[in-house]
């Protein structure tokens, strides 16, 4: 999915959807939310770092700036940090295409480090599971680095070691197309799971102590990761197939097996994976034309505002349904029942398509804590869901690392 399509998915329906009334956050929920360590395992926000005039320290909005995460909203929403994503769209699997993916991945890593260097008093790179609480205790925001789609490694898998030295701590195998390492959930199988190179990549990730991420991968890749990995794995941003049957979601039997192996599923807030959304060919054609005009480059604020005006006109012409916070909670609460609260977390896919009506950006995160309290979960469970569970998996990955 290119940059504009990701933005469109993120903001689809903002102009035409009826806004939900703001959920009441009780003093108890607010205080609990501030006490626990709050991490999200899939922040696509590094895609904004190269946008002209955009700064993580400024207060933005999805409606005005096509942005869901920044320092002011992290503070308002009590988000201590999480996994900041090196995302690379799956291009052509040719020597030239693989080199292009390699370069894009390295550039994104540099952009993350540039953000850290520009804001040393507000953000800090985290390298171990124990770093999160230490960093949050200083008032800074936690920056773990993850990779969504291993295609930057296709030209030279040994680059994984360099990425690890630069801070990479979570590795996803595929995105929406198959790659040299394995099959995607969205395309017909090519490897029937992991390729030979993918199996070697799993072994190397274990050696380095990286957490392996099965989101976007096929069921067969999930099964093989669960079998081959010497540490538990995660799904960094996924939903429940039992609530909405979609290739990107996971069935209850696999959720149970993930839990039995000590893994964690982080629940996604990408509307198209939460509910079936009826497609309108005329609307899609106009959206495609809009995307073609704006291309894949980083938009200035002025370009973003012009883009939004045109997008809003299309939405007004072809109103679309939008997933709600209640739809999100159906997935979250179902997965909690199936896996148990020790094996569930939050990975909403902010700035990469996540966000639903009533849960628009990270400033809304206390609503999830309130909903968990209302569902009967206590502070220990909620602390695990918000960060403790994924940090447990990180510690397990650290333990299996070797020379």
Domains of the chain: 3-14+26-400 (3.20.20.140)
**Is the alpha carbon torsion for 74, 19, 329, 231 positive or negative?**
negative
Q: What is the pLDDT of residue 148?
A: 98
Helix (H, G, I), strand (E, B) or coil at 95: helix
Please tell me what DSSP assigns to residue 157.
Answer: T
The CA distance from 287 to 394, in Å, is 40
Q: What is the pLDDT of residue 232?
A: 98
Phi/psi region, residue 274 (left: phi>0; alpha: psi -120 to 50; beta: rest), is alpha
Judged on CB neighbours under 10 Å (0-12, 13-18, 19+), 154 is: buried
Q: What is the pLDDT of residue 297?
A: 60
| pTM of the entire predicted model | 0.92
Q: What is the pLDDT of residue 2?
A: 40
Q: What is the pLDDT of residue 374?
A: 97
User: What are the pLDDT tens digits along the chain (403 aa)?
Assistant: 343 344 344 444 333 333 333 458 999 999 999 999 999 999 999 999 999 889 999 999 877 778 999 999 999 999 999 999 999 999 999 999 999 999 999 999 999 999 999 999 999 999 999 999 999 999 999 999 999 999 999 999 999 999 999 999 999 999 999 999 999 999 999 999 999 999 999 999 999 999 999 999 999 999 999 999 999 999 999 999 999 999 999 999 999 999 999 999 999 999 999 999 888 888 888 888 987 888 756 777 788 788 888 888 988 888 888 899 999 999 999 999 999 999 999 999 999 999 999 999 999 999 999 999 999 999 999 999 999 999 999 999 999 998 8
């Amino acid at each position: 999915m290119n940059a504009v399509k990701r933005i469109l998915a993120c903001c689809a329906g903002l102009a035409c959807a009826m806004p939900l009334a703001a959920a009441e956050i009780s003093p108890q929920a607010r205080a609990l939310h501030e006490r626990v360590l709050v991490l999200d395992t899939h922040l696509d926000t590094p895609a904004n770092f190269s946008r002209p005039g955009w700064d993580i320290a400024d207060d933005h909005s999805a409606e005005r700036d096509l942005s869901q995460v920044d320092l002011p909203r992290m503070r308002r929403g009590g988000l201590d940090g999480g996994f900041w994503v090196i995302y690379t769209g799956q291009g052509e699997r040719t020597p030239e295409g693989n080199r292009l993916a390699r370069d894009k991945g390295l550039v994104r890593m540099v952009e993350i480090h540039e953000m850290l260097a520009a804001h040393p008093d507000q953000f800090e790179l985290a390298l171990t599971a124990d770093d999160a609480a230490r960093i949050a205790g200083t008032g800074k925001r936690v920056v773990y680095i993850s990779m969504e789609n291993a295609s930057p490694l296709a030209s030279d898998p040994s680059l994984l070691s360099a990425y690890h030295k630069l801070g990479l701590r979570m590795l996803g195998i595929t995105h929406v197309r198959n790659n040299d390492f394995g099959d995607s959930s969205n395309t017909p199988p090519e490897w029937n799971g992991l390729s030979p190179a993918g199996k070697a990549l799993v072994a190397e990730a274990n050696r380095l102590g990286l957490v392996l991420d099965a989101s976007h991968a096929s069921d067969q890749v999930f099964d093989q990761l669960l079998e081959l990995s010497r540490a538990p794995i995660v799904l960094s941003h996924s939903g429940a197939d039992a609530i909405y049957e979609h290739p990107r979601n996971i069935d209850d039997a696999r959720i149970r097996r993930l839990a039995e192996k000590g893994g964690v599923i982080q629940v996604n807030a990408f509307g198209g994976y939460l509910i079936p959304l009826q497609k309108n060919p005329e609307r899609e054609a106009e959206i495609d034309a809009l995307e073609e005009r704006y291309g894949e480059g980083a938009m200035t604020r002025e370009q973003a505002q012009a883009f939004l005006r045109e997008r809003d006109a299309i939405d007004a012409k072809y109103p679309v349904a939008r997933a709600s916070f209640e739809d999100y909670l159906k997935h979250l609460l179902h997965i909690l029942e199936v896996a148990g609260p020790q094996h569930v977390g939050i990975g909403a896919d902010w700035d990469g398509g996540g966000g639903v009506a009533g849960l628009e950006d990270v400033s809304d995160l206390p609503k999830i804590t309130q909903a968990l309290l209302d569902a009967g979960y206590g502070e220990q469970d909620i602390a695990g869901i918000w960060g403790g569970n994924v940090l447990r998996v990180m510690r397990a990955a650290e333990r299996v690392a070797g020379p």
